[in-house]
Amino acid sequence: MHYSAVIHFDLTRKISFFFQGPQSDNFLPSIHPTASALIKGKRPSVETREVRKVKIEEDPLNTAVPVYVPPKPKPLKGNASMEPRSSHLKVKRTIVVGNVSKWIPPDDREDMSTHKWMLYVRGDKENPDVSDVIDRVRFLIHQSYHPNNLVEVTKSPFQLTRRGWGEFTARIQLFFKNEKVNKPVSLLHDLKLDKTYTGLQTFGSETIAQVWLWPSE
């Protein structure tokens, strides 16, 4: 009984001392020789763990500001063109607006005009005559021709001839037959004058447009 009491007292004292906390990380409390004989000299092991600091990097995908990305347009197949509604009931026509000009020699000039030019409206090579779809053409030319800067041609050929000394942008309004359903179309054309100064009629430029029209009644 005395032997047991000594062991109990010593273990209680050592255990209470152990739970009070060691003074350092490598501190191990001493064990009474009697208790050591019972546990065969084994000491309680102290588990140590290595603490590593891990740097957490921010994900740029989570910090980026969201922006609107518009949808990609669907590519057209082959040489397909955008056709209006009811295109199977309409007629597609090509309209060409162009001009030619001729340089005037100084001895033949009547005023400050250096060129004689002509604006024209016609179709493509397959259908040059557009009188079957165009009712009239209105030419709006440079303000320097005022009050004659607005000219309307009501029959084919749809042409306008004038003299001038400079280039400008002309507005051409096309009025089609069957006006109730075929709305007028306005085109802009850059008038180009002859730069060769040969006195021969020279091609200037052309503006090409394709229109869809309801057939004439």
pLDDT attached to residue 13: 47
pLDDT attached to residue 140: 98
Below-70 pLDDT ranges, the chain: 1-88, 217
State how far the Cα of 1 lies from the Cα of 10, in Å rounded to an integer.
14
Give the alpha-carbon dihedral of 36, 39, 45, 46, to 10 degrees: -60
pLDDT attached to residue 186: 96
Q: Where are the domains of the chain?
A: 1-14+30-43, 90-213
Give the alpha-carbon dihedral of 147, 149, 150, 156, to 10 degrees: 130
Tell me whether residue 69 is exposed, middle or buried, using C-beta atoms within 10 angstroms of its C-beta: 0 to 12, 13 to 18, 19 or more. Answer: exposed
Q: Which CATH superfamily is domain 90-213 in?
A: YEATS domain (2.60.40.1970)
pLDDT in tens, 122-143: 999 999 999 999 999 999 999 9
pTM of the model: 0.60
Q: Tell me if residue 144 falls in helix, strand or coil.
A: helix
Whether omega for the bond prior to residue 215 falls within 30 degrees of 0, making it cis, is no
pLDDT attached to residue 158: 98
